């Protein structure tokens, strides 16, 4: 491994150590990343920056370090997906509906990371209300992939992934409902993990599909993800009724364990038609590395993989149609200017405030929940969701974790996939773990068509994050894909 020479080349672990030893101050680090964010504004990653707020936080971190009272992430600058509400920055969720919205409180994820000493650089672009796979559904603007600015960064956490890949932040937060951490991580050549459903509090994370939404870290290394995830997780029972009643864990505890004898399940359904050759080749390369590291590849089957697409695109819109009913012009965000009565105000506000994809989902969701269709669509989808979860449990009898591609292709061209169905189909490999509530990550596996990054997805059983992160860490000890930099953004 080469020795990093610039602040933005340091991992979170390396930067945190330099901050603790006071070789680098938090103010210096924050200024460095703010300057980079400004210099690479054209990527579109950041949507809200407030230097004064960031520098005030950095000064407080420096004081805490000097006083010896600081947390594990003291002074480390990070960016937050704009789905997490923040009291010091606006929150838009990528929607016109929330233009000018200012939250009176911080999301639990924001509070936890701040308590660990992290400094907020700003808020990051995303698909509107986290619905999308290319960040092209953002009302705020497009995000470019740092590896090729004519391509999408993935979505919905596209700004979070692009910022890390372009070294505009050492790490960021993302959210994953059906792949929104793993797929952009794969497209941008970084590492991102979605924990077991319920590990990360959803309090203050604007709801899309509540039974699926989870927060997680995005960074260049698995070790960094483990450090951040340890700070983010833990019960928040008073604020999120689906928060797991399990104590916070140190997810770095298994880093360094050898992989000898590890059984990696290879689902046949993840390698069938539709997987592009370049992604297959990169994924195969990573699997060979695992064999060299002592793991054994075990063929398994997840027979309902294909069904995860219709199931997800019934359940997620159903929940969204309910969650998004709160955006009606009364309590927060956009309100139409001219209206005749209350109903007219609702209608005009929602027609003006929501983008096409969000409207499509609200309508689909309302339809599948409506009288006469509920049993045929929503209930049926719930039953198959359960079977998908059962399929995983059957598979985990034969393996310790599951590996496959995170996405069927590398990042496509901006504007290249306008058909909503084509976008939905590309979610095929990330949806199953989401529906089952299992932890999953994407780790750089190599490069494909056009020199674009390819991510390997690893899925663990419930609460298996530490093992999962170590598996990704071991791959990163043996390969250097995660250390490569997109040309043009290095300086």
Distance CA 325, CA 61 (A): 39
Closest-approach residue to ligand GLN (CB): 180
Six token digits for residue 390: 């059962």
Residue 231, helix vs strand vs coil: helix
Q: Which of these segments, 68-76, 131-139, 281-289, 437-445, binds ligand GLN (CB under 6 A)?
A: 131-139
Cα of first residue to Cα of last residue in the chain, in angstroms, is: 19
Task: Name the phi and psi angles at 465, rounded to 5.
Answer: -60, -40
130 near ligand GLN, judged by CB under 6 A: yes
Active site (annotated) includes residue 331: no
191, 221 contact by CB (below 8 A): yes
178 near ligand GLN, judged by CB under 6 A: yes
Active site (annotated) includes residue 81: yes
* Nearer CB in complex with ligand GLN: 143/316: 316
Q: Which of these segments, 178-186, 293-301, 331-339, 374-382, binds ligand GLN (CB under 6 A)?
A: 178-186
Catalytic residue among 26, 72, 81, 123: 81
179 near ligand GLN, judged by CB under 6 A: yes
Size of the site for ligand GLN (CB under 6 A): 13
Residues sharing a CB contact under 8 Å with residue 452, sequence separation 6 or more, in sequence order: 145, 147, 148, 151, 187, 410, 411
Closest CA to 205 of 289, 288, 111: 111
- Tell me the sheet residues that pair with 403: 458
Distance CA 150, CA 148 (A): 5
Active site (annotated) includes residue 156: yes
- Tell me the sheet residues that pair with 58: none
156 near ligand GLN, judged by CB under 6 A: yes
Six token digits for residue 150: 């004519």
427 near ligand GLN, judged by CB under 6 A: yes
Distance CA 473, CA 453 (A): 18
* Nearer CB in complex with ligand GLN: 283/320: 320
**Which residue from 144, 145, 180, 214 is in contact with ligand GLN, where contact means CB under 6 A?**
180
**Which residue from 176, 236, 328, 391 is in contact with ligand GLN, where contact means CB under 6 A?**
176
Contact pattern for ligand GLN over residues 194 through 223, marking x by CB under 6 A: --------------x---------------
**Which residue from 11, 111, 133, 138 is in contact with ligand GLN, where contact means CB under 6 A?**
133
Q: Peptide bond before 487: cis, by omega within 30 degrees of 0?
A: no
The CB-of-109 to ligand GLN minimum distance in angstroms stands at 15
Distance CA 229, CA 251 (A): 7
Catalytic residue among 26, 133, 156, 442: 156
Residues sharing a CB contact under 8 Å with residue 12, sequence separation 6 or more, in sequence order: 73, 76, 170, 171, 219, 221, 224, 227, 228
Distance CA 491, CA 489 (A): 6
Contact pattern for ligand GLN over residues 294 through 333, marking x by CB under 6 A: ----------------------x-----------------
Q: Which of these segments, 29-37, 67-75, 125-133, 282-290, binds ligand GLN (CB under 6 A)?
A: 125-133
Q: Which residues are marked as active site?
A: 81, 156, 180
The residues binding ligand GLN (CB under 6 A) are 130-133, 156, 176-180, 208, 316, 427
């Amino acid at each position: 491994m080469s020795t990093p020479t610039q602040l933005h080349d340091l991992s979170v672990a390396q930067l945190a150590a330099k901050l603790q030893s006071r070789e680098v101050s938090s103010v210096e680090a924050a200024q460095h990343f703010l300057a980079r964010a400004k210099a690479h504004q054209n990527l579109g990653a950041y949507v809200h920056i407030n230097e004064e707020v960031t520098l005030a936080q950095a000064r407080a971190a420096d004081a805490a370090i000097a006083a010896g009272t600081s947390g594990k992430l003291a002074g480390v600058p990070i960016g937050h997906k704009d789905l997490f509400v923040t009291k010091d920055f606006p929150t838009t969720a990528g929607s016109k509906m929330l233009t000018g919205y200012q939250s009176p409180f911080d999301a639990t994820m924001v509070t936890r990371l701040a308590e660990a000493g992290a400094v907020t650089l700003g808020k990051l672009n995303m698909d509107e209300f986290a619905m999308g796979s290319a960040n092209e559904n953002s009302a705020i603007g497009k995000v470019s992939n740092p590896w090729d600015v004519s391509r999408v960064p993935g979505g919905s956490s596209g700004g979070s992934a692009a910022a890390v890949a372009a070294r505009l932040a050492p790490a960021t937060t993302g959210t994953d409902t059906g792949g929104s951490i793993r797929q952009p991580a794969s497209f941008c050549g970084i590492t991102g993990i979605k924990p077991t459903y319920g590990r990360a509090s959803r309090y203050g994370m604007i709801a899309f599909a509540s039974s699926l939404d989870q927060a997680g870290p995005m960074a260049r290394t698995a070790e960094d993800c483990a450090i951040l995830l340890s700070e983010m997780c833990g019960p928040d029972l008073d604020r999120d009724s689906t928060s797991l009643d399990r104590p916070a864990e140190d997810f770095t505890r298994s880093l360094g364990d050898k992989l000898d004898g590890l059984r990696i399940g290879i689902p046949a359904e993840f390698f069938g038609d539709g997987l592009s050759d370049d992604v297959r080749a990169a994924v195969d390369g990573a699997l060979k590395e695992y064999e060299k590291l002592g793991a054994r590849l075990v063929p398994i089957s997840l027979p309902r993989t294909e069904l995860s697409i219709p199931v997800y695109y019934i359940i997620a819109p159903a929940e969204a149609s309910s969650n998004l009913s709160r955006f009606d012009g009364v309590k927060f965000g956009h309100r139409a200017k001219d209206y005749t009565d209350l109903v007219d105000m609702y209608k005009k506000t929602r027609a003006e405030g929501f983008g096409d994809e969000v409207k499509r989902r609200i309508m689909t969701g309302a339809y599948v929940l409506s009288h006469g269709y509920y049993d045929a669509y929503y209930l049926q989808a719930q039953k198959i969701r359960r079977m998908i979860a059962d399929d995983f449990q059957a598979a985990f009898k034969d393996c310790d974790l599951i590996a496959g591609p995170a996405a069927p292709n590398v990042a496509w061209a901006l504007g290249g996939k306008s058909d909503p169905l084509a976008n939905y189909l590309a979610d095929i490999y990330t949806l199953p773990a989401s529906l089952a509530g299992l932890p999953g990550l994407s780790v750089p596996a190599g490069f494909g068509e056009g020199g674009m990054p390819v991510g390997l997805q690893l899925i663990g059983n419930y609460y298996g994050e530490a093992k999962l992160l170590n598996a990704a860490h071991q791959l990163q000890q043996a390969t250097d894909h995660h250390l490569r930099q997109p040309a043009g953004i290095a300086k």
